[in-house]
Structure 1
Amino acid sequence: MRLIMFDMDGTLIDSGYAITNTINYVRENLGFEKLEKNHILEKVNDPTINSAEFFYGTKEFTQEQTKLFEEYYNQHCLSDLVVYDGITKLIEDLKGDFTLAVATNANSTYAYKMLNHVGLAKYFSTILGYDSVKNPKPHPEMVYKILDKHNIEKQNAQLIGDSHKDIMAATNAGVDSVLVNWGFSNHEKDAIETVAELENRIKAKFY
C-alpha cells in the first residue's frame, strides 16, 4: 500500500479569494483596515508568525474572531474556488495505484464541502482537517493519524504542499515531501513550478 497526502489550499485548489475576503471581513468587524491579498496569503503560510496576533492583534484566536470567520467563510468559501491546472488529471492518474488523502489546516467539514464542490472529494479516502487533531501542521500529528488509519509505513508515503508548514509536518513524521510553488507562497528554492514536475517527483519516489 502506498499513500500520497495533499495539502488543500494553495496545493489542490486556489481558495485565495475566499481566505483573503474572510480575514478582511473579520479585520473590518474588529476595526482594522483591510490587507492586500498577496500579503495575507504569504503570512497565512508563514510558520514563524502567530496568525492570531498578526491578523487580529490577540495572542490567541478569540470566540468572536472564530465566529466571525466561520460565519463569513461558511457563506463564501465556495465562490471563486478554482482547481489548479492539471491537478484533476494527476489525481485521476494516481487513484488506481495509491491511497489518496488530504491533510489540511482548514476545518474538515469545509474542506470536504470545498473539495466536493470542485469534484475532487470522491478521490480521497481521508480528508483530515485541524479540528480532527490536537496539533495542526507543522506538527506531524495529522500525518501520523493518516498513516495509522490506512496502516501504511512512512517510507511508502509522500506529502505534497505549498507551505513550509506542510514540509515541516512531513519531515517531523519522517515522510518524504514535495514543495510546490503554484500556491500562496513564493518560494525561492527547493520548490517545483509545474504539475508535470510533481508527476516526475512522485514517479522518482515510487516507481
Structure 2
Amino acid sequence: MIKNYFFDFDKTLADSGGVSISATKEAFKVMGFAVPETNVILGYMGIPAEISFKKMARESLSETQIQKLTDTFRTIYQKVEMKSTKLYPNIVSMLTSLKKANKNIFIVSSKKTDAVERNLNNLKIISFFQDIVGFDKVKNYKPAPDGILLLLSKYDLVKDESLMIGDAKYDIQMGKAVGIKTCGALWGAFDVNGLANERPTYLIDQPMELVTLE
C-alpha cells in the first residue's frame, strides 16, 4: 500500500510552464546572451536553473555569469508568477482525498524551497504538505535521489510504501534511483514519450487516478 507521496511541483501540481519559458527568455535577453528556443527550455524543465541554463546556453558561460543569469531569471519570474501559475484541474480534490486517507504528502522540487512555499501559499494548498524539499536543501539535484532520501530518513518512511509523482523523466529517474515506485503525470508533461520510455510504475492521465493506486 502506498502511504508516502512525493510530488514534483511545476507541471505536476501547477501549470507554470509559460512563466518559466518567458522568464528564461527575458533573462537571457537582458544578459545579452542568445535566447534559447521554447522547445529547448521545455526539454530542460525539471532540473535546477543553475544546471539547465548552462546546458541550454549557446555561449560558454562562467560560474559568475550563470549566477547572474539565474538571479535575473528568478527576479523576473517572481514578478509574474502569481497571475500566471494555476493549479491543474482536480488537484485540490486529489490532495484532499489523500489527506483524508491519512497519507504523507511531500514536495521534492528543482525550485528553491522558499519559492515553492510562496507558490503553495499563493495557491492556498500549502497545508496539504508535510514537508518541502527544494534544490537548496540537498547536495545533488534531480535526477539524483538526495531529496527523497532526505525525507525518507527524516520521517523514517518505508521505501516500499513510497511513490514519486512527476511530469518529467528526471522525476522518474530520481524515484528509480531511490528504489521506490514512480508515477508519470501525463496532464502536464512536455515530453510524453520520454516520460513513458523511463517505464514508471504507473502512467496516469488524471490527478484523481492517484487515489486509486496501490
What TM-score do the two structures reach when normalised by structure 2? 0.84
AA of the residue aligned to 1:70: R
Report the CA distance between 1:18 and its aligned residue. Answer: 1.6
Matches within 5 A, 1:141-156: 141-156=146-161
What residue is the counterpart of 1:126 in the other structure?
A: 131
Is 1:192 the counterpart of 2:204? The answer is yes
CA contact (8 A) 1:16 1:184 kept: no
Matches within 5 A, 1:1-207: 2-45=3-46, 51-56=52-57, 57=59, 58=61, 62-96=66-100, 97-188=102-193, 189=196, 190=199, 191-200=203-212, 202=213, 205=214
Report the CA distance between 1:33 and its aligned residue. Answer: 4.9
* SS of residue matched to 1:44: coil
* SS of residue matched to 1:134: coil
From the superposition, tell whether residues 129 and 7 of structure 1 become closer, same or farther in structure 2 (CA, over 3 Å).
Answer: same
CA distance in 2: counterparts of 1:154 and 1:162, whole angstroms: 21
CA distance in 1: counterparts of 2:47 and 2:155, whole angstroms: 30
* SS of residue matched to 1:171: helix
From the superposition, tell whether residues 182 and 37 of structure 1 become closer, same or farther in structure 2 (CA, over 3 Å).
Answer: farther
Gaps of 5+ in 2: none
Report the number of matched residues. 200
CA contact (8 A) 1:46 1:163 kept: no
CA distance in 1: counterparts of 2:17 and 2:79, whole angstroms: 15
* SS of residue matched to 1:95: helix
CA contact (8 A) 1:87 1:195 kept: yes
Gaps of 5+ in 1: none
Quote the sequence identity (%): 25
CA distance in 2: counterparts of 1:32 and 1:79, whole angstroms: 27
